[in-house]
């Protein structure tokens, strides 16, 4: 069965499958989430797989902290208006680098929304297909989610939490993000979602 999600959609069917409605309702009761993640990206052109792991914090609306700990440490931070992409020094005596971009230059809202339990995107209408008992495929309107053409979301039904998101990119690459130790929290400090550039970091504003 398929659904079309969005404020402009008109249908006799519910706007979301019942399980996704339950998950979204539970997540919306919290300030946001914190979790551990493992990520694997399959590069179609080279047939290579890149892996990473770390931790994330997401606070509604639109605040994000994504810390990759292995294999190459880096941090992505957003206060909802500005994004900081920080790469620490590789060796002692070297300098770190941070790239600063406005929200309008970064197309990650679709993924951030999914990970924080949002499945309805207003103007960015999304078609939802129930693939299995706990698995759903969401296809955003073309061009509304950057290079993401589809996302498969797996739900841990007992806890009503999102355990896995698999993104299919227009390039043919696939990114799989698995979440562990998920906590829906009542409070997240805003300081988590700001980045201060120190004297040992090169700043690039784009």
Q: Is the entire prediction scored with pTM above 0.75?
A: yes
Catalogue the E-assigned strands of 1-43.
2-5, 32-43
The mean-pLDDT minimum among 6-10, 16-20, 37-41, 198-202 falls in 6-10
For residue 31, is pLDDT > 60?
A: yes
Express each pLDDT in 106-123 by its tens digit: 877 788 889 999 998 765
135-140 and 48-59 beta bridge pairing: unpaired
What confidence score (pLDDT) does residue 75 get? Answer: 97
Residues 174 and 44: their CA atoms lie apart, in Å, by 8
Mean local confidence (pLDDT), 123-142:
87
Three-point CA angle 71, 77, 79, nearest 5°: 170
Phi, psi for residue 53 in degrees, rounded to 5: -150, 155
- Domains of the chain, earliest start first: 2-205 (2.50.20.10)
Mean local confidence (pLDDT), 63-74:
96
CB atoms within 10 A of CB 176: 17
What confidence score (pLDDT) does residue 5 get? Answer: 58
Mean local confidence (pLDDT), 41-61:
95
């Amino acid at each position: 069965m398929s659904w079309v999600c969005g404020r402009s959609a008109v249908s006799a069917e519910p706007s979301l499958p019942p399980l996704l409605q339950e998950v979204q309702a539970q997540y919306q009761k919290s300030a946001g989430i914190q979790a551990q993640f493992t990520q694997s990206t399959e590069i179609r052109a080279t047939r290579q797989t890149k892996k990473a792991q770390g931790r994330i914090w997401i606070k509604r609306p639109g605040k994000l902290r994504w810390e990759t700990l292995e294999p190459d440490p880096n941090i992505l931070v957003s206060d909802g208006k500005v994004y900081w992409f920080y790469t620490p020094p590789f060796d002692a005596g070297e300098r770190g680098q941070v790239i600063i971009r406005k929200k309008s230059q970064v197309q990650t809202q679709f993924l951030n929304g999914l990970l924080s339990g949002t499945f309805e995107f207003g103007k960015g209408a999304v078609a939802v297909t129930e693939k299995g008992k706990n698995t759903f495929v969401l296809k955003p309107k073309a061009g509304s989610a950057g290079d993401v053409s589809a996302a498969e979301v797996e739900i841990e039904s007992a806890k009503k939490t999102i355990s896995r998101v698999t993104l299919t990119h227009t390039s043919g690459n696939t990114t799989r993000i698995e979440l562990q130790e998920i906590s829906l929290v009542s409070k997240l400090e805003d300081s988590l979602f700001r980045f201060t550039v120190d004297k040992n970091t090169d700043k690039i504003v784009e």
